[in-house]
Structure 1
Amino acid sequence: MMQTVTHAPIGTIGWTERTGGVLSAGERLSLAPALLRNLGSLVAGRAAMATRMHAGRRNTVAPDALAPPNSPLAREAEAAVQDLLTPALLNHSRRAYAWGAALAALDDIEYDRELLYLAALFHDTGLPSQVPSVDFTVRSAELARDFSDRHQVPAVQRELVTNAIALHHTPGVTLDFGPEAFLLSAGAAVDVFGLRSDQLPDGVRRTVVQDYPRTDFKREFSALLRTEAHQVPHGRAWYLHHYALSTLTIRLAPFHG
Structure 2
Amino acid sequence: MLDTLTSPTEINGIGVPDSRLGRAITEFIRDTESELLFNHSSRVFFFGALAGQQRGLSVNHELLYAAAMFHDVGLMPSHASADLRFEVDGANAARDFLHSYGVDPSDIEKVWTGIALHTTPGVPEFMHPVVALTTAGVEMDVLGLTYGQYPEEIREAVVAAFPRTPHFKEDIIQAFYDGIEHKPHTTFGNVKADVLADKDAGYRRDNFCSVIRCSHWVS
Normalising by structure 1, what TM-score?
Answer: 0.66
| SS of corresponding position for 1:156 | helix
Distance across 1 between alignment mates of 2:123 and 2:29: 25
Instruction: Report how far residue 119 of structure 1 moved.
Output: 0.7
Listed one character per residue, the Cα deviations across residues 216-249 of structure 1 (whole Å, up to 9, x for unaligned) are 4323211122345643331524344489x89xxx
- Say what the alpha-carbon RMSD is for the aligned residues: 2.2
Q: Distance in 2 between matches of 1:169 and 1:61?
A: 30
Correspondence for 2:141: 191
- Equivalent position of 1:82 in the other structure: 30
User: 1:137 deviation in Å?
Assistant: 1.3
Alignment CA distance shift 1:221-1:102 (3 Å): same
CA distance in 2, matches of 1:95, 1:136: 20
Number of aligned positions between the proteins = 187
Give CA-to-partner distance per residue, 1:112-149, whole Å, 9 cap, x none: 11100011111100116744442101211111111111
1:123 equivalenced with 2:71 (yes/no):
yes
Contact preservation (8 Å) 1:61, 1:105: no
Hey, what does 1:154 align to over in structure 2?
Answer: 104
The match for 2:117 among 167, 171, 176 is: 167
Q: Which residue, 198, 214, 217 being the options, matches 2:168? A: 217
**What's the CA shift for 1:61?**
4.2
In structure 2, the CA distance between the partners of 1:144 and 1:203, relative to structure 1 (3 Å rule), is same
Higher relative contact order (CA 8 A, sep 6+): 1
**Aligned mates of 1:238, 1:70 — CA distance in 2:** 33
User: Would you say 1:68 and 2:16 are equivalent positions?
Assistant: yes
Q: Does 1:205 align with 2:155?
A: yes
- Aligned runs of 1:1-257 on 2, under 5 Å? 59-61=1-3, 63-127=11-75, 130-215=80-165, 216-228=167-179, 230=181, 231-233=183-185, 234-241=188-195
Q: Distance in 2 between matches of 1:206 and 1:178?
A: 28
Distance in 1 (CA, whole Å) between partners of 2:42 and 2:59 is 17
TM-score by length of 2: 0.77
Match of 2:74, SS state, is: coil
CA offset at residue 106 of structure 1?
1.0
Structure 1: tracts of 5 or more residues without a match: 1-58, 247-257
Identity fraction in percent: 32
**Cα displacement (A) at 1:64:** 3.5
Q: Does structure 2 retain, via aligned residues, the 8 Å contact 1:164–1:180?
A: yes
Cα distance, 1:242–1:86 mapped onto 2, change above 3 Å? closer
1:171 to 1:83, Cα distance in 2 relative to 1, 3 A? same
**Structure 2: runs of 5+ lacking an equivalent:** 5-10, 200-219
Q: Distance in 2 between matches of 1:242 and 1:142?
A: 23
In 2: Cα distance, 1:242 partner to 1:82 partner: 27
